[in-house]
């Protein structure tokens, strides 16, 4: 497992929801002069998808080399084929990640874009409409999806570009020698020690050398937390280590608040509920966000450390899929993100330990059964590693 690469002197801007993210993305595409790499889990057939597709086509029409990766499951088999034909006609290069599970069960859940090797975007936002549900485009959300991305300028862009370019090459027809060279490049680590603002690093999860890198970043941050930890995620079904890290931080006096999305998947909600009693007893505050679909995967600890990315707190993100987060050590950024999470928590519903003390037995049985089923499936997929 490699260390997190940290570079200083980065300019990082937090983008909240599609209202801030998509205009910035389109503007970057329209200003591009050389190349664009875009990787996303979902590239939807909706108004937002058309807007981004048109901007990519305009760039390709100007002679910009445009390379787009979409996940075959996330985007869908039919939509992947439709996109491929449309991109081909527009001069946009397109590759679908792991069609028909030829590379196993792992998906690319990453949301990354690099423009002209000078500007990067990374976060949790797919290419889909903010007011349509992720899992059912026919369901209109009551408010824009709660999500985040960042735009990045500075030395860190080089590392993000290397990651996206390597991913693009992996999906092509590479020789064994070229694959080995790309693998060695991803192993290189550089840690910059500096007092300059916006010290930041790219943290990826894959099934080669980075199997635990994102989880490890969370564990280290929680282990060093002194005052507060604000974490938000749509799904909660991590392994034992991350659950214990949250409980341990709260037990030693850290103000730990976990803001979770609910209502999207019944089984997922039940699994999360199975963990609530132990978390609440340890002092972790749990808040369920019900205003709209929560999709952000963010955290702010001690107003010093922050992360934004694609990784959920579940078995698929932490043990199976390819993910990408950015870790930021900058007080101003961490404070701004913490205030966003606090605002989200203010719109949520706090979970109380008494709620479980008076809960009917069949609810508790359902939560336990859901976790047993989920754990069994994930332990098969991860060859027994999920419970870690």
Dump the DSSP string for 129-165: -TTB-SS-TTSBPSS--B-EEEEEESTHHHHHHHHHH
Whether 71 is a known active-site residue: answer no
Whether 111 is a known active-site residue: answer yes
Distance CA 121, CA 141 (A): 25
Whether 297 is a known active-site residue: answer yes
Selecting among 53, 94, 295, 340, the annotated active-site residue is 295
Selecting among 297, 303, 330, 340, the annotated active-site residue is 297
Question: Residue 10: how many CB atoms within 10 A of its CB?
Answer: 24
Selecting among 302, 303, 314, 330, the annotated active-site residue is 302
- Strand order of the β-sheet with 93-97 is 11-16, 148-153, 119-123, 112-115, 35-40, 65-71, 93-97
Distance CA 64, CA 231 (A): 39
According to DSSP, the β-strands at 255-261 and 11-16 are unpaired
Selecting among 16, 53, 111, 273, the annotated active-site residue is 111
DSSP 8-state code for residue 99: G
Distance CA 361, CA 50 (A): 49
Structure tokens at 213: 């890198």
Whether 116 is a known active-site residue: answer yes
Selecting among 53, 94, 109, 340, the annotated active-site residue is 109
Distance CA 223, CA 247 (A): 11
Outline where 256-348 has alpha helix (H): 266-282, 315-319, 331-346
Phi, psi at residue 14, to the nearest 5°?
-80, 130
Residues 6+ apart with CB under 8 A from 360: none
Whether 147 is a known active-site residue: answer no
Whether 340 is a known active-site residue: answer no
Distance CA 255, CA 145 (A): 26
Selecting among 13, 45, 84, 116, the annotated active-site residue is 116
**Could you give the residue numbers annotated as active site?**
109, 111, 116, 295, 297, 302
């Amino acid at each position: 497992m490699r260390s997190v690469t940290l570079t200083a002197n980065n300019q990082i801007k937090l983008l909240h929801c599609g209202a801030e993210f998509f205009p910035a993305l389109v503007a970057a595409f329209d200003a591009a002069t050389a190349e664009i790499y875009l990787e996303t889990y979902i590239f939807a057939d909706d108004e937002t998808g058309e807007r981004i597709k048109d901007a990519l086509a305009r760039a390709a029409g100007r002679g910009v080399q445009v390379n787009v990766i979409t996940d075959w499951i996330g985007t869908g088999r039919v939509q992947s084929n439709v996109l491929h034909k449309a991109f081909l006609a527009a001069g946009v290069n397109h590759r679908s990640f792991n069609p028909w599970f030829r590379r196993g069960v792992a998906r690319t859940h990453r949301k990354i874009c690099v423009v002209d090797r000078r500007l990067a975007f990374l976060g949790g936002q797919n290419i889909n409409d903010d007011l349509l549900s992720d899992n059912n485009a026919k369901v209109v959300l009551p408010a824009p999806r709660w999500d985040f991305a960042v735009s990045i300028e500075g030395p860190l862009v080089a590392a993000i570009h290397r990651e996206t370019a390597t991913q693009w090459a992996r999906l092509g027809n590479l020789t064994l020698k070229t694959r080995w060279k790309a693998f060695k490049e991803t192993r290189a680590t550089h840690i910059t020690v500096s007092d300059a603002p916006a010290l930041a690093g790219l943290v990826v999860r894959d099934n080669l050398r980075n199997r635990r890198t994102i989880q490890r970043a969370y564990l280290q941050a929680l282990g060093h937390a002194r005052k507060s930890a604000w974490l938000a995620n749509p799904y909660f079904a991590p392994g034992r280590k991350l659950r214990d890290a949250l409980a341990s931080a709260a037990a030693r006096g850290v103000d730990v608040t976990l803001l979770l999305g609910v209502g999207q998947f019944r089984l997922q909600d039940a699994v999360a509920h199975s963990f609530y009693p132990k978390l609440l007893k340890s002092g972790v505050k749990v808040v369920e966000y019900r205003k709209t679909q929560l999709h952000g995967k963010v955290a702010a600890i001690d107003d010093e450390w922050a992360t934004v990315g694609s990784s959920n707190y579940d078995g698929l993100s932490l043990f199976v899929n390819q993910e990408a987060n950015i870790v930021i050590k900058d007080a101003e950024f961490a404070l701004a993100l913490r205030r966003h999470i606090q605002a989200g928590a203010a719109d949520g519903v706090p979970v109380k330990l008494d709620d479980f003390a008076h809960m009917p037995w069949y609810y508790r049985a359902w939560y336990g059964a859901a976790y047993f089923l989920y754990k069994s499936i994930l332990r098969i997929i991860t060859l027994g590693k999920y419970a870690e």
